[in-house]
Chains A and B, each alone.
Chain A
Amino acid sequence: EPEVTQTPSHQVTQMGQEVILRCVPISNHLYFYWYRQILGQKVEFLVSFYNNEISEKSEIFDDQFSVERPDGSNFTLKIRSTKLEDSAMYFCASSEGQGRNSPLHFGNGTRLTVT
């Protein structure tokens, strides 16, 4: 069964550094997402992406964050200057369509630790 893959599985960085989290969505999917889960807390929506532009973003997704689909397969999340509170598990997801009948398929996540 096709799956969403994320790399790396664990990233450690120092406060103020830039990080790029990488994802390869399922190949025939058109909609891409990033979510995060701070340890022990709720899974929170960050951003959705379609047709090479952001379709929706949450208030968490401020100017420090950006997303990009640099080629036909990768989808990246960049955090420009990491803060301690950015430490979380970041999940990439993709879906075939937009509507209610299209479930999101998630990767295994990247655990980001900011020291």
Chain B
Amino acid sequence: GDSVTQMEGPVTLSEEAFLTINCTYTATGYPSLFWYVQYPGEGLQLLLKATKADDKGSNKGFEATYRKETTSFHLEKGSVQVSDSAVYFCALKGSNDYKLSFGAGTTVTVRA
């Protein structure tokens, strides 16, 4: 079945550092890919998405590019802030799939 594997954390960074969280997927057909973020004590928020190969999703300074050849959707941000401290989830939705399949989540802590 469809699945997502993402980089294990926790990740601790200083403010203004570069952040990368790796995500790879296994799926049949042409899935859509998502990054969700969970801030402390809150629910899951959609951060960005990409629906086809070579699409780049972006939001709040974060970017991820759908790479079909490497089955990857790595999340990047060039200069993190303390407010970016959260758990980040990579997720996949298959071609005719109702549900999202989530990765294990990566905890990111940004220190001032």
Choice from A48, A55, A105 contacting B46 with Cβ under 8 Å: A105
Complex interface bits, A39-64 against B, C-beta within 8 A gives 1, otherwise 0: 00111110010100001100000000
- In this complex, the member of B99, B103, B104 whose beta carbon has the largest number of chain A beta carbons within 10 angstroms is B99
Known: A98-B96, A100-B93. A42 touches B43 (CB 8 A): no
Q: In whole angstroms, what is the CA distance A56 to B2 when docked?
A: 15
CA distance A41 to B89 in the complex (A): 11
Q: Is the CB of A100 within 8 A of B32?
A: yes
Residues of A with C-beta under 8 A to B101 = 45
B71 interfacial by beta-carbon distance below 8 Å: no
* Chain B interface category by residue count: 20 to 34
In the complex, whether B97 has a CB less than 8 A from a CB of chain A is yes
A42-B104, A100-B51, A101-B32 known; A48-B43 Cβ under 8 A:
no
Whole-angstrom CA separation of A45 from B100 in the bound complex:
8
A108 within 8 A of B: yes
